[in-house]
Structures are given as structure tokens and as C-alpha cells.
Amino acid sequence: MPYDSATDTSDAALLRRHAAGDRTAARLLTARLAPRALGFATRMLGGDRAEAEDVTQEAMLRLWRIAPDWRDGGAQPATWLYRVVANLCTDRLRRRGRAAPFDEVPEPADGAAGPEAGLIDAERVAALDAALAALPARQRQAVVLRHLEGLSNPEIGAVMDIGVEAVESLVARGKRTLAMQLAGRRAELGYDDAE
């Protein structure tokens, strides 16, 4: 089937159409990519929605600026966007002095009376955010992209510019640390053995 630029609705095609002045292409691309950027940024920034929105807007702005120079055969726009979001989040966390390494995170008090069972999911998400914040940045990126954004290991490798084995190692180490942090909080956060 011959290539038809009018029916190609890939992200790269939409980016080229935006560069040519197609406003519909910009709306479609925003609908596709902004949620991904915002979801990733929110988890990378510990749930800070306002900062995540700033990062999302900045990342999309950079995408619009490079649209005329976009060439096929390289990274996908989504891959490129995830990478920009990761870098912007790293910069913001560095400025904040956030993301303490694992061994500086205090252990939960033994026998502490936790909240009642049936807590809303928001507090479970907050617990995950706190545990993610304790991970080294690269492990956090890999785990969030894998288990929250749903990327495959090769796709994560393209975002982080590393091989698949390196991705697997980062994910494995990150999950091990998260599991150690969160296992003790399952009862406190309303999970029973059946979940």
C-alpha cells in the first residue's frame, strides 16, 4: 500500500503536520502525549501535581519547538518526551535537594498504630510516592515507566538510553527496595493477604 501522509496518524506524522500548521494535529498529539508526560512527572515528583503540570507544559513546548526538525527513523515522539520529562524532573529534584538515598529513610516505628483498614487509595498512592522518593533516580524512572506507565523494557531502554539488561537490573533493584519499604505497611494501609 503506498504511503499516504494524509492518513498516517502516527505521532511522528502528527508532529510533522503540526509543524506545517495543522491545528488538529496539535490537539490530537496533546491528547495522546500530555497524559503520559503528566502521569510520569507526577510520580517522579512525589505526587506534586502543580510541579508535574509545569514540567508537562515545558516538555510539550520543547516538542513543539523541535517539530520542524523531526526526522523519521529515530526515536518516537513519546520516547523523546519521556526522556525530556525525566531530565526536567531530575533538575527540579536536584534544586529541591529531594530524593534522599535509601539508607537515610527512617524505619517505621514498631507496633505503631496505623490508620484503620479501608483507607482510600490516595493514601496508598502517597505511601508508594514516599517509597519511590527514596529510590535512586534511575531506579525510580525505570520502575515508574515499567509498572505505572506500562512501557516494555526495550521502550524504557530507548527512553533512558541504556540496554534491556540494564533496565531489568534497575527495575529489579527498585522493586526489591520498594517491597521492603511497603511490606510492613500493608496492614496499616488496609491491605489483607487476599489482595
List residues binding other proteins (CB under 8 A): 18-19, 21, 23, 26-27, 30, 34-35, 38-39, 42-43, 49, 52-53, 56-57, 60-61, 64-65, 67-68, 76, 78, 121-122, 124-125, 127-128, 131, 147-153, 155, 168, 171-172, 175-176, 178-179, 182-183, 186, 191, 195
Q: CB 193 → other proteins: shortest distance, Å?
A: 9
**Residue with Cβ nearer other proteins (99 or 170):** 170
**Residue with Cβ nearer other proteins (61 or 100):** 61
What number of CA atoms fall less than 13 Å from residue 53's CA on the CB side? 2
Q: CB 31 → other proteins: shortest distance, Å?
A: 8
Quote the CA–CA distance of 103 and 87 in Å, as a whole number.
24
Helices (H), 20-75: 23-44, 49-66
Quote the CA–CA distance of 142 and 44 in Å, as a whole number.
10
Q: CB 49 → other proteins: shortest distance, Å?
A: 6
Query: CA-CA distances (angstroms) from residue 174 to 46, 65, 78, 163, 185?
Result: 15, 34, 23, 17, 17
